[in-house]
Structure 1
Amino acid sequence: MAKFTYDVVIIGSGASGTTVAFEAQAAGLKVAIVEERSWGGTCVLRGCDPKKVLVGAAEARNLSTRLRGKGIKQAATISWTDLMAFKETFVEDVPESRLESFQNAGIETFFGPASFQDVNTLQVGDDLLTAKKIVIATGATPSTLQVEGQEYIQTSDDFLSLEKLPDSVVFIGGGYISFEFASIVQATGREVHVIHHNSTPLKKFDPDFVAALVSSMKEEGVHFHFDTDITKIEKNGEKLHLQGKNGFSLNTDLIIGATGRKPNIDHLSLEKASIDYTKKGIVVNEKLQTPNNPHIYACGDVADTKGSPLTPVVSLEAALVAKNILGGDEKVDYPAIPSVVFTSPKLASIGISIEEAKAAPEKYQIKQHDTTNWYTYKRTNESIALAKIIEDRKTGQIKGAHFLSEEADYMINYIALLIKANLTLADLQSVIFAYPSPASDLTAFN
């Protein structure tokens, strides 16, 4: 068994692990990185990046549909085969190029699952890696619904690599993955169902806007089944048959489970290094160190932090870990972080929730706007465009915002800048934006 010694060993080559590895290597430390699956991690290979390619096709189709009869003669149709081939151009070279970038930088690489042997030692295959500091950045993995016939349930990873899209698809779960994928499948013209165990999907977003989004998607043909618990799945000829409580019954061609993600820690043997964890991930302090072993860090989706499981958050945490490894003493401080559900229309949120604002009416003011008839939205024939902006009553500073429209992703990023700069909507009156554009609409929200 070969033995190696390093200053830093990072487990995981996704956004967080890669950031720490390059920062540590650039500072002159001897660095190794371990990957058990494909070099590059979830976001670029089987997450937000390839998903957005599919979203782009759905956006093109939906825009052409809305403008049919208004200058556009025929709505676009999606070729799943061509779309997946296009998606693959963003993915196929990533593992090799990421591995090559590590090697060119002098970062040593190990492939295979890592497991702790003690507080300073990891085993990867037949190799033992000893390090002064260890960073756990193994991300998260899809959860599995515990039900009879669960072997027929596929994951988001499987959906993003489907060579052929069948006629009927069921998504189990009421989170952003189910909603986004359902919106994509609907745009292809297939039958699509979303099943959720309670009546509150997308629970981190404004419930009024979630209800409006569900209504809009229903009108487009998506079938929602709320308060539905699946009890059994079985093969029925060429079809898959789902059974649920209260007589629920449904036949489909493909079932995708999107009931959440869990920290990817099962193989790490954390107990051998006295590393504590919860169902949300590895326990860390404000410096992202494991309390029992300050030389062991965890960041990204594998860590139990206050940060949302979003790539920008992962990068923020990784940058802090890198600084602390190099002698810093920084504590994580999360800014207002925008979150977007890439459906059609899109749903976006930042800052405090409507519930928080309503609970403190003396402190916050909620400004609601139905912008459906504004020029920006009328010219692309959008059926729904809504906004809620939360202001501090004393200062007028923006503390939160929520959007539902095809431009929601752009709008929420503008608001992120305003929150970061502690600006008010009134401050924008002196800013000249390109007109007409979503940005120029900001001055009308005051």
Structure 2
Amino acid sequence: MKKYDYIILGTGPAAYKLVKLLDTQHKSILTVESGLFGGTCPNVGCEPKIYLDGAVQAVLSNQQFEKEGIISQGGKLNWAQLMKDKKARFASWPNETRKNISKISDVISGSAHFVDRQTIEVNRQYFQGNRIIIATGRRPHELSIPGAKFLHDSSDVLSLGTLPEHTTFIGGGYVAMELATFLAAAGSQVTILVRGDRVLRHFYQKYSRELVVRMKQRGIQFEFETEPTRITQLSDKYVVELNQEGPIVTDYVVNASGRMPNIEKLDLSAAQIDYSTRGIDVDRHLQTNVKNIYAIGDVTSQDVPNLTPVAEFQAQYLFNSLEKGLTQPINYPAIGTGVFAFPQLAQAGINPDSVLEDGDNFEIREYELRQSSLYAGQKEKGLLTVVYDKANYIVGVSEISMSAVNDINYFVPIIGLRINKNEWHRNVLPIYPALADKIEGILR
């Protein structure tokens, strides 16, 4: 049985970064992957999504100018060509990632499961690790309804060669909102089924509701407090039966009801590792209840955003902890997150919803972006909400606009570094008139 300093389960962003860091210490490493090398983000997640978003944003922005009478004819998205270009860019990435990892680690493809606290089995081979790192990520949540075999997931949509005439999404999270935006921009009629009474529940709800209004104005339909109960095939179409009035006849059904941790094949009980349906339990040192086993990335049950930068931050922390003698618990920085719909939704720091009733400790102010010449020229109807603490520091921001993601990125260091208006004016003279025009006004 071969023994290693580290066994790493998974090759997503967290695992990939950790492998590269451990290589600098000349550790013996075994990396195990049961799916695409590189994980979700570079293959069927954030990287291909943002690639598609570039074309989608351009088309929808042109269409908005056409409605204002400024552009005589807006653009039209060629979905088939866009998909062809996307596949040409990303098809080689899994093999390239495997080659890169193979240069610094032993690699095996297959599903790993624990035999005991130091031993795993993969493809009937046994391996021991002084430390084992679980970084197996998440996958689309599975719906247990009759006809579930007809469902597609986000990975399918991101490789969809032929545009459906009508698409039905199940779910109201960021995956549903983003992919619905993409397909609708290409010309598909889109219906979104939302189990509850709201979408994007982790975002500022005033702006989440506004995003729904904007998407409805472009023809996207929403059905709230609605769940599918059965899916049947009818010739070349599908019938989605609902708990409310229905049914819906559609060409393509996407399950975007959430994501679940990849843990059931690991046989965690064999190593007596604590876990729940939310993921693997870890402490503030990313250690499980078993001394030599750790978990990082989306597979954990931590109450932090499941984002690539967060996973990579955890990898860096774990390396510093295990190899550099860091003893402090993990302390997360200011985290920005966004929804690549149209308009975009983004936020960082404190969500205004969480402090709406706490006027003694926080002040909430809203700004209309169209007061800036930049946004007025873009025919932008965006809104920005800023949360200030008692000392008048910015501690939270939320925005809905065509450029919300990049706008909020500008605020992340202001929140994380606790920069006050005097420090800003003393140390910063950014380009004018652009986003700086907005920041200057807020920090006056």
Check whether TM > 0.5: yes
Q: Counterpart of 1:415?
A: 411
Alignment match, 1:205: 203
Letter in 1 for 2:16: T
Quote the offset at 1:392 in angstroms.
1.0
Note the alpha carbon deviations across 1:230-256, whole angstroms, 9 max, x for none. Answer: 111111121111111232211110000
- Verify: 1:268 aligned to 2:269, yes or no: no
| 1:266 Cα deviation after fit | 1.0
Cα shift at 1:435: 1.6
Q: Partner amino acid for 1:362?
A: D
Which residue, out of 381, 399, 403, partners 1:403?
399
Does residue 99 of the first structure (1) align with residue 98 of the second (2)?
yes
User: What is the CA deviation profile of residues 39-72 of structure 1, one whole-angstrom value per residue up to 9, with x for unaligned ones?
Assistant: 1110000001101111111111012112226553
Work out the CA distance in 1 between the residues paired with 2:372 and 2:326: 49
The aligned counterpart of 1:389 is 386
Residues 1:79 and 1:362: Cα distance change in structure 2 (over 3 Å): same
- The answer (yes or no) to whether the contact 1:425–1:442 under 8 Å persists in 2 is no
RMSD: 1.4
Aligned residues of 1:428 and 1:442 also touching (Cα < 8 A): no
**Residue-by-residue CA offset, 1:328-370 (whole Å, 9 max, x unaligned):** 3341111221110001100011111212222321110111112
Separation (CA, whole Å) in 2 of partners of 1:428 and 1:324? 34
Q: How does 1:15-414 map to 2 (within 5 A)?
A: 15-68=13-66, 71-105=70-104, 107-291=105-289, 293-326=290-323, 327-382=325-380, 384-393=381-390, 395-414=391-410
**Shift, 1:440, TM fit:** 2.7
Q: Which moved more, 1:360-369 or 1:68-77?
A: 68-77
Higher mean alpha-carbon deviation, 178-187 vs 71-80, is at: 71-80
Q: What is the DSSP-based 3-state SS (H/G/I as helix, E as strand, rest coil) of the residue aligned with 2:359? A: coil
Cα distance in structure 2, aligned partners of 1:118 and 1:19: 26
Structure 1 residue 314 displacement after superposition? 0.5
The residue type equivalent to 1:417 in the other structure is P
Gaps of 5+ in 1: none
**Distance in 1 between the 2:359 and 2:422 partners?**
21
C-alpha offsets along residues 61-90 of structure 1, whole Å, 9 cap, x if unaligned? Answer: 012112226553321111112111221233
Which of 428, 431, 435 matches 1:434?
431
The TM-score with structure 2 as length reference comes to 0.96
Deviation at 1:149, TM superposition (A): 1.2
**CA shift digits 1:391-411 (9 cap, x unpaired):** 112x21111010000111111
| Aligned equivalents of 1:230, 1:371: Cα separation in 2 | 39
Q: Per-residue CA shift, 1:126-149, capped at 9, x if unaligned?
A: 321111000000000100122121
Deviations 1:80-119 (A, max 9, x none): 12111221233222112111112223x1101101011111
Structure 1 CA distance for aligned equivalents of residues 425 and 102 of structure 2: 51
Q: Is contact 2:198-2:209 (8 Å) kept?
A: no
Compare 225-234 and 325-334 and name the one that shifted more.
325-334
**What is the rounded CA distance, in whole Å, between the counterparts of 1:372 and 1:255 in structure 2?**
38
Task: State the alpha-carbon separation in 2 of the partners of residues 19 and 258 from structure 1.
Answer: 28
Distance in 2, Cα, partners of 1:211 & 1:64: 24
Unpaired stretches in structure 2, ≥5 consecutive residues: none
* 8 A contact 1:407–1:438 mirrored in 2: no
Give, as a single letter, the amino acid of the residue that structure 1 aligns with 2:83: M
